[in-house]
Amino acid sequence: MFRQNSGYSGIPYDDINWYDVVGQPFGTAINFNAIILGDASNIVDTKGGMAIGGNFTSSRGLTLGYGNDGKLTGTGYSPDAVRFLVGGDIAMQGPLVVIGHVVGGGKFRAGRGSTYMIGKDGSPEQAQILTDLYQAPGGSVYWRLSDRGSHYAVSSYDVPRFIPADRIGADVSGFFDDAFDNISYYHGCISDLQPNGTVTEHFHEWILRGNDPRQNVFLIDARPNGILNKEIRFEIPEGSIAIVNIRTGDNAHLRYGLWGSERLANRTLYVFNDARNIYMEVPAAIWGSILAPQATFHAHQTGGTVSGNAALGALMVNAGSGFEFHLYPFVGGVECGYMEMPEEEEIPEIPLVPTPPEEPEIAPMPMPAPMPEPEPVPTPQPRPVPRPIPSPEPAPMPVPRPAPQAPPVQMPQQECPECPECPECPECPECPECPEQEIHLRIQPVIPVPVRFPQKADCKIVAGLIFGCIWGCECCCDHQWLVRLYKNCGDSKKLLYEEKIGSCGCFEFKVPYDDFYGLEICPIKRTRLQGNCKPVLSLKNVGVANLMIY
């Protein structure tokens, strides 16, 4: 049975097993801010925990588990929570700082100063247990835990330290195999859902409207080029969830700075149905969770955020990027049409708030024997396994993994009788020659016929509209901008509009077409150290005769 740790994020180090959860595409991984089924690199900060099935490499440091506000909201000091779980090798040049435990299935290397903060459970033997968990070959005989009052600190000031998976008997590779099965099954099931909401497309946004009180499903089809260059805005009933199926082809290109809203972040799920690569081409703010276990996510070279859970095939982050994951766990409750579970099976709820550490521990349920491996194929495909899951309730519940199904019975094939030989076809008679015909030419007067020429396509530029967006600053800092629009009259200019926008935002002005205008964009509160502040600007509609940018 699933045992929740004493904080919101992470899983207990003595129960690293996968559990399916009713109506929850992320299963056990709901307790990780992000689960990467393959390799990951260079991410600098994740507000919750992170699980990586492959290798993690970085030329800098990494912090995990500090919560969205840096005050441990949603995480906290836990005595048993693993907040960095890696199936392969960990190779970092900078320090690893985690509010929680670190467990790895391969080799480990991190910079000096790596520290893990572990909550106290009140037992007198905890210090010795932690010392045994983090013992390392070649370590100093003088190495000790640091008691910091509210928690212990495990420091790597002598040699790199972590908990090897075999030290606690954890089958980490099996954990990620089961995660792949469950997440891929949900991905395929959700991708097949029929939309019950509408998508209204405007010049710079998609408005997604639904009226289902529980689950609203939408479809955005951006094939064949996969360009997603509009804001996504929701209008759904309070308390319902929004599922957005996104079809792009092999490559998805994210070219707009805002998806969703903070108010709906934990009730929004973006499902990339067919993308193999997701390119964040602007430092976007994505409010909601991402389900794309088949895709590699390429973060923007300077920054960007995903505020929710993320299940990805791989994660590629530039060594200078400030890209982050923020902790807004998806509430679940997805209805996908599953088989019913036996009524006599009693399933406890998974709390979304910390549970008292005094609760009795429940041993993990033994896993069934694995199914025989199929013949290898060039490209691995998701292996959906039908799972006995009932209709979801408001709170997710753990579900035991099903026993493997018996292979289909091969029916004996009957031999076909020999076909009788077909008789030879008779020869066709020769066609008689056609008699020669005389050709008579008749001259007709030419009558002029009116010709309709194709009309020109409508102009895509809207007259009288100046619309553009700012995607950041060349100084790589986030600050607000002051946008002013002037009407030029000879040597003088008259201020028409003045608008303040964030570090990534858009502006829109409506003016007469024939005049001469000037656009001025200045950073707000520029410091002396930020001498190279130039906006990254794109003008999407210039519907005037003359426009000058100051």
**3-class DSSP state for residue 177?**
helix
Confidence at residue 169, expressed as pLDDT on a 0 to 100 scale: 96
What is the signed CA dihedral for 419, 420, 423, 424, rounded to 10 degrees?
40
pTM of the model: 0.64
Instruction: Give me the residues paired with residue 200 across strands.
Output: 207
Nearest by Cα to 325 from 299, 296, 302, 351: 299
pLDDT of residue 355: 38
Handedness of CA 438, 441, 442, 448 (dihedral sign): positive
User: Please, which residues have CB within 8 angstroms of residue 424's CB and are 6 or more apart in sequence?
Assistant: none
pLDDT score for 420? 56
Contacts of 360 (CB under 8 A, 6+ apart): none
Q: What is the pLDDT of residue 515?
A: 85
3-state secondary structure of 44: coil
Question: What pLDDT is attached to residue 383?
Answer: 37
Residue 11: both structure tokens together = 């899983």
312 neighbors 332 (Cβ within 8 angstroms) = no
53 in helix, strand or coil? Answer: coil
Q: Residue 134 has which token pair?
A: 């983090």
Q: Is 286 helix (H, G, I), strand (E, B) or coil?
A: strand
Would you state the pLDDT for residue 144?
93
Which regions of the chain are under pLDDT 50? 4-6, 339-397, 399-414, 437-457
Determine the pLDDT at residue 531: 59
Cα 221 → chain centroid: 17
pLDDT at 462: 84
* Strand residues in 4-107 grouped as ranges (E): 11-12, 20-21, 34-36, 40-41, 45-46, 50-52, 56-58, 62-64, 81-86, 90-92, 96-98, 101-104
b/e map 249-258, b = 16+ CB within 10 Å:
eebbbbbbbb
Tokens at 170, concatenated? 């954890």
For the chain, what percentages of helix, strand and coil (3-state, to nearest 5) are there? Answer: 10, 35, 60
